Amino acid sequence: MSQTPTRKPDREAGIRDRLNSALAGISHTEIARRVGINVSSVNRYLRGAKLPADFVASVTEAFALNPAWTLAGEGHSRLDAVSADTTATAEKMLTLVQSLRAVMRQRLGALLGDRDKMVLADLSDALNALDKARTQLSAQSKPVMADLLKKFYDALAKRDAKTAAALEGPLVELSRLVEDEQTRQSLLSLRGNLAQMQGNMPLAVDLHRRAFLSFPTSAQQLGTFFGSGVHNLVMLLHITGRGAEALKVARAARILLEGSELEDKHVAKIQALEGLLHAEFFHPRKGVPLVADAFSRVEQSFRDGSLWPTRVQVEYLAGITDLHGALATMPRRSSAGGMVLFMIACLEQNREVMTRLLAERVGDAAGQTQARVYWVVHARAMLAANPMAAMQVFDDAAANKDPLAPPAPLLNAGVVLRRADVLAFHDEIKAARLELDHYDDMAATLDKAQRLPWPLLALYHRLRLRSELATARQQARARRFFKRAIAGGCRLFEKWIGPPAPAEG
């Protein structure tokens, strides 16, 4: 014998609270008129009596409420907040709700007699109606979503964050109705781009990670959104100090893309990033072949210079090129290229080149490196007239927040390390050693998954090689660090620690 399901007062109370919230300011008389029932019934239902399903469905239809919100509290309260174009699909949504209600009403017993067969038939009809309504709703919503998705993409391309943010909410709501995984994946990637543009790095990483994990594993199904989404995810992980995860994602993406029809320029960018990340972990011997192969894939990228900053950085670490070689080959109109040149000039402590770069490569024009990039700040501090002026450069930079800066703990640790380097450059040895000790304290509190970029790690150990800036134990640790890096192919460091000691005997 079938049993009557128990009521769920918490769920019903939630629906009543949401109805009262949505209908606030509307008289019960008006509600009764539009729904077609007595005012006394409206009073009872909204004040605590059991809510009939027909009443909930009628109010939802009459006042254009979002059924998903009414029943479960998901999304916006009203359909017109989702999109004006989707209000035409409200009837289909109500059909969907009614079908769901019909399914919920069915009570299955032992399924032995004719009555049970009738119950099963009713259940089958309700499920068929549910599937039909869902399919029709998805078909009606898909072209609307495609149009809004294009507008969203165009707004992001124009860096119009305000317009893109206004479109994000309606698109998220529509994605609940559209049964198309590729569209949902594309939306996740674009939302990640918007979060990045707004400076919300944790959200950007989360959205791009979700998009990456939701893409199919069949190479033939991977398209441009996958390529650009993976590239952005790897870059964001890199920026936020999660190099190990970035390397795993880049390697996995490259394997997935083998045999795909994705344009070579997307594959080359991901492959070059994987090569750079190998170099980040002081294994340029693994990274150089990947970067070289990326260049061979895309001749155009070789010409326009989009891969040059990666190539120069990896080859510099491997000892294949030097500062002057980087200056000679780096494209003029490349903001990322300018950043890499500043980085190399600071590591080489070359005053002449830093002065030249500040005059030629910093500005607001297209292709110019921004003044707030910390390698530019580092160079300015090195060229300052005195230590006090140098520290003021860092203080001024702290007021100019870079939306693409790493998380605060990582950024602050990096700034302390830069201050130590600049102070040592200005022969303020005692102050530099205090900054290095401060950095050690900060590094001990960092998230274990986070890691400073390779130039700063190398900078720290080079400073600890100096006897006046380190204990004997710290010096020995720094020398071991460089020996391991050289064993991984970092020939650059051979000139930092001197030639290897001759073998005994």
Q: Which domain holds residue 116?
A: 9-141
Regarding predicted confidence, which is higher, 86 or 30?
30
Q: What does the angle CA 321 – CA 451 – CA 275 come to, to the nearest 5 degrees? A: 40
Do 225 and 104 belong to one domain?
no
pLDDT at residue number 6: 44
CB 251 within 8 A of CB 270: no
Last residue of some domain: 321, 337, 359? 321
pLDDT at residue number 471: 95
Per-residue pLDDT, averaged over 218-236, amounts to 73
Dump pLDDT digits (tens) for 280-300. 999 999 999 999 988 887 766
Specify if 30 maps to a domain. Answer: yes
Do 184 and 292 belong to one domain?
yes
Specify if 44 maps to a domain. Answer: yes
Dump pLDDT digits (tens) for 80-94. 554 444 444 444 555
Tallying the residues shown for the chain, one arrives at 505
pLDDT at residue number 335: 87
Considering the chain, what percentage of its residues have pLDDT values greater than 70?
Answer: 79
Do 45 and 109 belong to one domain?
yes
Do 191 and 309 belong to one domain?
yes
pLDDT at residue number 117: 56
Specify if 450 maps to a domain. Answer: no
Last residue of some domain: 254, 289, 321? 321
Mean pLDDT of the chain: 81
* Domains of the chain: total: 2
Do 211 and 317 belong to one domain?
yes
Last residue of some domain: 141, 167, 189? 141
Do 38 and 117 belong to one domain?
yes
Regarding predicted confidence, which is higher, 464 or 7?
464
CATH number of the domain at 67, please. Answer: 1.10.260.40
Paired strand residues for 78: 65
Do 14 and 120 belong to one domain?
yes
Do 215 and 86 belong to one domain?
no
Specify if 211 maps to a domain. Answer: yes
Specify if 347 maps to a domain. Answer: no
Concatenating the DSSP letter of every residue in 102-157 gives HHHH-------SHHHHHHHHHHHHHHHHHHHHHHHHHHHHHHHHHHHHHHHHHHHH
pLDDT at residue number 437: 96
Buried b (16+ CB within 10 A) or exposed e, 397-426: beeeeeebbbbeebbbbbbbbbbbbbbbbb
Specify if 328 maps to a domain. Answer: no
Do 236 and 301 belong to one domain?
yes
User: How many Å apart are CA 429 and CA 443, to the nearest integer?
Assistant: 21
Specify if 117 maps to a domain. Answer: yes
Do 274 and 214 belong to one domain?
yes
CATH number of the domain at 268, please. Answer: 1.25.40.10
134-138, 398-402, 463-467: range with highest mean pLDDT: 463-467
Dump pLDDT digits (tens) for 180-196. 777 888 888 889 889 88
User: How many Å apart are CA 441 and CA 309, to the nearest integer?
Assistant: 32
Specify if 285 maps to a domain. Answer: yes
Does the pTM of the predicted model rise above 0.75? no
Is the pLDDT at 150 greater than 80, yes or no?
yes
